[in-house]
């Protein structure tokens, strides 16, 4: 595509140099530059202009004129916004040809996208998913680098999905992605809000900023989308839901575990094997038997069921899709064994840990044993908070290392331990040994929860990344016990 065609009607304040040149790609990462690339010099990447030019960049986009003698686009607004808009055009405006749903919230995003995918497949529709665990479409299952990829990668993925026959896409949209403008240029049909709880305050500073970032999906991207029949599906049980409601003509649908809404829970039964739910979806009653454990998953099921209704999936297919999802990697993922009930869960926030421990306490027949830690170089304020939750709600806790990154694991563990008051806990820094100790302690009818890393198959210690899967380690330890 020629630069002239790429920048037509774009928010560019000044153009310098020849625009009748062929463009082969767009990026803000100097490491990804090839011959013919447009390099977007954001505040973080503008120091890499010389490196980008050396690797073959032919155009620079910046917030001010650059000294280098190459074509330059000067942006009066901001560089990341233009990157998203130009990436959409470069890849053929893929989101305009797809039904695109963004799912945001602190917890539940991944499970909700898995449920949506299962519902669409039950109705014989080709689905694509962009999320924390992987990017999935057309038989491909690609490991995800970020919950929400960068703008260039997102539009490229959407283009590939369309070419593979996908027509419905569910993507997790993180607060970081919204704040960093990674979803610019995507025309959304629908937005789903799951909840808002304490997380990512190391990045956003406070809950108000965090909430405002989440609200951008509904009050900016969905409101400004060129799509017809736009819809927001919102958790009516969350205290901040009013701050997420978009203006007309975007339609809003609400779901609740507590009060009659567009989708709500009529009755429920839960045990360690799953859920039995009776739900109302737009006035129609449906009975669901789901293998997902925990009543909080009823909220995700309601959200995805309203999604199914909104895109015209029959209630029978919604039921089939929900009941057909056996589990989600790292989200209360059951590890089958002949001893205790053992689960791996991604709970790495105070709210997520509290909710999963509350649920397991309701369902346990014996003791509840918890193995968890907190990540390094992340929000330190939540460490003693999570320690306090574990202290109150687990019968026995083993505090261990998570992804310490550049921090001293012992210091992180000490901050977690500050939240403990009276209840028993052990400190075993090595995560493999901690999991092994949890399995040794767990007796028949006990519940063992290994929390914090979920689907992750790595551990970051210092500047090195090691292969580490909680599930694999549990299975290895169980094999040793069986011998």
CA distance 51 to 57: 9
Q: Which helix (H) or strand (E) holds 287?
A: strand 284-290
* Closest listed residue to residue 228, CA positions, set 104, 103, 85, 96: 96
CA distance 341 to 474: 12
Coarse DSSP helix, strand, coil percentages of the chain, rounded to the nearest 5 percent: 35, 25, 40
Do residues 343 and 372 make contact, with C-beta atoms less than 8 angstroms apart? no
Q: From residue 162, how far is each of 97, 165, 195, 305 by CA, in Å?
A: 7, 5, 30, 24
* Paired residues of 14 in beta bridges: 74
Task: Tell whether residue 409 is among the known ligand binding residues.
Answer: no
CA distance 397 to 452: 13
Q: What angle do CA 219, 225, 231 make, to 5 degrees?
A: 65
Task: Tell whether residue 471 is among the known ligand binding residues.
Answer: no
Task: Tell whether residue 452 is among the known ligand binding residues.
Answer: yes
Task: Tell whether residue 51 is among the known ligand binding residues.
Answer: no
**Cis amide linkage into residue 249, ω under 30° from 0:** yes
Task: Tell whether residue 378 is among the known ligand binding residues.
Answer: yes
Task: Tell whether residue 375 is among the known ligand binding residues.
Answer: no
Task: Tell whether residue 287 is among the known ligand binding residues.
Answer: no
Task: Tell whether residue 16 is among the known ligand binding residues.
Answer: no
CA distance 128 to 171: 8
Task: Tell whether residue 109 is among the known ligand binding residues.
Answer: yes
Task: Tell whether residue 147 is among the known ligand binding residues.
Answer: yes
Task: Tell whether residue 297 is among the known ligand binding residues.
Answer: no
Task: Tell whether residue 104 is among the known ligand binding residues.
Answer: no
Task: Tell whether residue 106 is among the known ligand binding residues.
Answer: yes
What 8-state DSSP symbol labels residue 242?
Answer: G
Tokens of 339: 């001893």
CA torsion 354→357→362→366, rounded to 10°? -150
Do residues 449 and 357 make contact, with C-beta atoms less than 8 angstroms apart? yes
Collect contacts of 251-255 with beta carbons under 8 A, ≥24 apart: 253/306, 253/310, 255/299, 255/302, 255/303, 255/306
Strands 333-335 and 341-345: antiparallel
Task: Tell whether residue 229 is among the known ligand binding residues.
Answer: no
Task: Tell whether residue 124 is among the known ligand binding residues.
Answer: no
Task: Tell whether residue 338 is among the known ligand binding residues.
Answer: no
Task: Tell whether residue 42 is among the known ligand binding residues.
Answer: no
CA distance 242 to 332: 30
Task: Tell whether residue 110 is among the known ligand binding residues.
Answer: yes
Task: Tell whether residue 337 is among the known ligand binding residues.
Answer: no
Q: How many residues does the chain have?
A: 483
* Residue 211 CB neighbour total at 10 angstroms: 15
What's phi and psi for 343, nearest 5 deg? -130, 145
Annotated binding site for meso-2,6-diaminopimelate: 378, 402-405, 452, 456
> Binding-site residues for ATP, please?
105-111
Task: Tell me the binding residues.
Answer: 30, 105-111, 146-148, 174, 180, 182, 378, 402-405, 452, 456
């Amino acid at each position: 595509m020629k630069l002239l065609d790429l920048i037509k009607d774009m928010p560019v304040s000044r153009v310098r140099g020849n625009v009748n040149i062929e463009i082969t790609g767009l990026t803000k990462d100097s490491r990804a530059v090839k011959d013919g690339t447009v390099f977007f010099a954001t505040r973080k990447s503008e120091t890499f202009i010389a490196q980008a030019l050396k690797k073959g960049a032919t155009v620079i986009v910046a917030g001010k004129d650059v000294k280098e003698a190459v074509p330059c686009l000067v942006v009066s607004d901001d560089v990341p916004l233009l990157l998203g808009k130009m990436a959409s055009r470069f890849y053929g405006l893929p989101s305009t040809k797809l039904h695109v749903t963004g799912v945001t919230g602190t917890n539940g995003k991944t499970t909700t996208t898995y449920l949506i995918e299962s519902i669409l497949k039950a109705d014989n529709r080709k689905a694509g998913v962009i999320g924390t665990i992987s990017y999935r479409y057309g038989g491909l299952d690609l490991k995800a680098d970020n919950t929400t990829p960068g703008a260039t990668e997102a539009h490229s993925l959407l283009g590939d999905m369309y070419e593979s026959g996908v027509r419905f896409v569910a993507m997790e949209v993180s607060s970081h992605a919204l704040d960093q403008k990674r979803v610019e240029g995507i025309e959304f049909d629908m937005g789903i809000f799951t909840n808002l709880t304490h997380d990512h305050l190391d990045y956003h500073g406070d809950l108000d900023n965090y909430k405002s970032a989440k609200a951008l999906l509904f009050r900016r991207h969905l409101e400004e989308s060129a799509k017809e029949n736009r819809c927001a599906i919102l958790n009516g049980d969350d205290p901040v839901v009013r701050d997420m409601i978009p203006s007309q003509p975007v339609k809003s649908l609400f779901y609740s575990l507590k009060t009659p809404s567009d989708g709500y829970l009529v009755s429920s039964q839960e045990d360690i094997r799953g859920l039995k739910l009776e739900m109302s979806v737009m006035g129609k009653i449906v009975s669901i038997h789901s293998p997902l454990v925990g009543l909080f998953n009823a909220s995700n099921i309601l959200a995805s069921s309203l999604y199914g209704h909104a895109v015209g999936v029959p209630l029978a297919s919604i039921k089939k899709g929900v009941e057909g999802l056996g589990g989600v990697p790292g989200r209360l993922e059951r590890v089958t064994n002949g001893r205790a009930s053992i689960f791996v869960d991604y709970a790495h926030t105070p709210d997520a840990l509290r909710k999963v421990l509350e649920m397991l306490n309701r369902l346990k027949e014996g003791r509840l044993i918890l193995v968890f830690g907190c990540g390094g170089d992340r929000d330190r304020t939540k460490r003693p908070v999570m320690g306090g939750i574990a202290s109150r709600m687990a019968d026995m806790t083993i505090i261990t290392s998570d992804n310490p990154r550049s921090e001293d694991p012992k210091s992180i563990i000490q901050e977690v331990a500050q939240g403990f008051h009276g209840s028993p806990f052990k400190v075993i820094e090595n995560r493999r040994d901690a999991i092994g100790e949890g399995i040794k302690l767990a007796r028949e009818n006990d519940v063992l929860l290994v929390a914090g890393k979920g689907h992750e198959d790595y551990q970051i210690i210092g500047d090195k990344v090691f292969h580490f899967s909680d599930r694999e380690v549990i299975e290895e330890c169980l094999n040793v016990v069986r011998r």
